Structure 1
Amino acid sequence: MENSEIKALSLEELRERVAAERESLQKLKFAHAVSPIENPMKIKTSKRLVARLETEIRAKELNK
């Protein structure tokens, strides 16, 4: 997901997306703990996406 796509989302959509991404990150971490996943970089990119979404949420909250 690109920054322009993130900025286009509403505050509620961002919150929903963060919840979904956190859930998928948790599943990835669990799968990796049980047996190594094929591409462990997915964990890193997922963490970064959550952080970018949370950053945009905070920016929109401050601009209200």
Structure 2
Amino acid sequence: MKAAELRGMSAADLNKKLAELKEELFNLRFQHAINQLENPGRIETVKRDIARVLTVLAEKA
């Protein structure tokens, strides 16, 4: 997800996206713990997306 896409979203949409990403990260970590995760690189991607969302939220505040 690009930062430019996030900057076009409202604060409510960003909070919703943040919740979705955190839930996805939880699920990925769970799958990784029981060795069912096919693409472990996805965890890092989701972490970066969470950081981007938090950064844009801080800019808007």
**For this structure pair, what is the TM-score category when the shorter chain's length is used for normalisation?**
over 0.9
Root mean square deviation, CA, Å = 0.8
Q: Distance in 2 between matches of 1:37 and 1:17?
A: 22
Q: SS in structure 1 opposite 2:51? A: helix
Offset at 1:52? 0.5
Give ranges in structure 1 of 5+ residues lacking alignment: none
| TM-score, normalization by structure 1 | 0.90
Give ranges in structure 2 of 5+ residues lacking alignment: none
Overall identity of the aligned pairs, in %: 36
2:25 and 2:47 in contact (8 A); partners too = yes
Offset at 1:59? 0.7
Question: Greater CA radius of gyration, 1 or 2?
Answer: 1
The number of equivalent residue pairs is 61
1:41 corresponds to:
41
2:29 corresponds to:
29
> What stretches of structure 1 move > 2 A for 4+ residues in a row?
none
Greater Cα shift, 20-29 or 31-40: 31-40
Offset at 1:36? 4.5
Q: Distance in 2 between matches of 1:59 and 1:5?
A: 14
| TM-score, normalization by structure 2 | 0.94
